[in-house]
Amino acid sequence: MNNRGSGRPPEYDVVVVGAGPVGSAAAFACVEYGLSTLCIEEHGTIGYPVQCAGLLSQNAFRECGVSGKSVLNEVSGAEVVTGSGNRLLIDAGVTKAFVVDRGILDREMAERAAMAGAEFRLKTAVYRMEGGRLFTRGIDGHGEVSYKVLIAADGPRSTIARLRGMKRAGFYLGGVQAEVRCESDPRFVGVYPDASPEFFAWRIPIDRGRARIGLAGMTRVKERFSSFSQQFGGACLDFVLGTIPIGVMPVTYGDRVMYAGDAGGFAKPTSGGGVYTGIRTARHAAATADSCIENRAFDDTTLSRYEQLWKQDIGTDLERGLMMFRMRQTLGPVETDRLVRALSDPDILGVIRQYGDMDRPARVVKELLKKPALYRQSGMLLRCGIRMLTGYNG
Ligand SMILES: Cc1cc2nc3c(=O)[nH]c(=O)nc-3n(C[C@H](O)[C@H](O)[C@H](O)COP(=O)(O)OP(=O)(O)OC[C@H]3O[C@@H](n4cnc5c(N)ncnc54)[C@H](O)[C@@H]3O)c2cc1C
């Protein structure tokens, strides 16, 4: 950091706004490159309030670079339950994902970045930016800080994207979740497509007697959640409301700023999970910041490397995921039921077990489309495709 005591605002190579998992991952990667890095967070405690179901694939968890202390449960598969009671169990037989305490996880990620040398300024919110300077207000009153490169990791409602007038994600889902006491097999996540026609509802077991039940959608979210939650009875022990951005913003960089994680709309359109994809974007943003600083080049052409990097890495999966999200909007309960029955074919289940990857759905979709049991549903899928392309949903 430069300019200490000169009266001018302190300047950092990189300022990261937001200390969620993406901001902390970006801050850690930046200090690993040897860049002076400040992370600004509006809340006084990192990781809270929790706005997450805490289901992370093995890969996503590995990307976080933390110990196992946030892990509450391990799951090996999922059970899809349709409104008419059809069930499809997909069991990999080995741990596929972890259920974590996001508060603990986020804090450990921030601690790792701080230990590596990143500075953190908590209870401080950015409210204005101008000519490479950020204006903040918080526990120490009003402040100013300068940056060479800014990484906006300030979540789905990104203040930075708003201040810069950036075009945002195509869709926003409202998410509601409660932790309840309910008996369920802790090895399997429950997925309930008909409880939320625009997305799905979930049950994520914490242990044999507790689960997080939740739902995300675009309309009547709270109403649908109260009717979905009735089957679980039990007292609510914790309640979460949040927003999930679906669809990456059209341009993810500009004017020395890169948008990472939820700020850029990087949540997976198939599941709403944003930790894995977000951390991947954090890594690419840090690599780009490093090359900008090394070459003393901060123009948009140099910054565009960020978009090339994330597109090479997760672009295809996000694109195919968005197609599946759009297709999902055209599936009614009858079609979901037929699809669930088609997916119960042993051949299909084998493909899902072999190629299924929560974070990278492109491969399994490609393999599934080769399967005869799905051809039989091709008329229905084609009709859904036409509805998707024409916007007709009658
Ligand atoms: C109900 C629900 C369930 C979910 N379940 C899962 C799941 O199971 N698995 C999964 O992978 N993902 C899940 N997600 C998505 C996941 O929570 C997000 O994708 C992830 O938190 C994104 O991380 P982030 O760091 O980009 O943003 P955030 O975690 O939102 O962090 C942004 C940070 O920026 C700070 N900030 C915002 N504005 C300012 C400002 N002006 N100044 C300073 N600081 C600021 C915020 O306080 C916050 O700490 C879920 C989301 C919801 C809503």
**Domains of the chain from N-terminus onward:** 11-48+103-169+249-319 (3.50.50.60), 71-100+171-246 (3.30.9.10), 330-390 (no CATH)
Q: From the CA of 175, give the closest atom in ligand 1.
A: 1
Give residue 51 CA to ligand 1 midpoint distance, Å.
7
Give residue 88 CA to ligand 1 midpoint distance, Å.
30
- Over residues 7-18, the pLDDT tens digits come to 678 899 999 999
Check: CB of residue 153 under 8 Å from CB of residue 185: no
Amino acid at 218: M
CA-CA distance, 203 to 180, in Å (whole number)? 10
Look at residue 393 in the predicted model and tell me its pLDDT.
43
Please measure the distance between the N-terminal and C-terminal CA atoms of the chain and give it in whole angstroms: 59
Look at residue 376 in the predicted model and tell me its pLDDT.
62
Look at residue 1 in the predicted model and tell me its pLDDT.
65
Give residue 374 CA to ligand 1 midpoint distance, Å.
36
CB contact set of 226 (below 8 Å; sequence gap of 6+): none
Tell me which residues of the chain have a pLDDT lower than 70: 1-7, 234, 372-394
Give residue 97 CA to ligand 1 midpoint distance, Å.
19
Write down the pTM of the prediction. 0.93
CB contact set of 244 (below 8 Å; sequence gap of 6+): 156, 172, 173, 174, 175, 216, 262, 267, 272, 274
Cα of 307 vs its chain's centroid, Å: 18
CA geometry: angle 322, 325, 330, nearest 5 deg: 135
Give residue 226 CA to ligand 1 midpoint distance, Å.
24
- Over residues 183-200, the pLDDT tens digits come to 999 999 999 999 999 999
Look at residue 392 in the predicted model and tell me its pLDDT.
46
Cα of 378 vs its chain's centroid, Å: 31
Q: Which residues line ligand 1 (CB under 6 A)?
A: 17-23, 40-43, 51-56, 60, 125-126, 153-155, 159, 175, 177, 214, 240, 242-244, 261-263, 267, 272-275, 278
Look at residue 385 in the predicted model and tell me its pLDDT.
54
Among all chains, which residue has been given the structure tokens 């549903």? 377
Look at residue 21 in the predicted model and tell me its pLDDT.
98
Q: From the CA of 244, give the closest atom in ligand 1.
A: 53
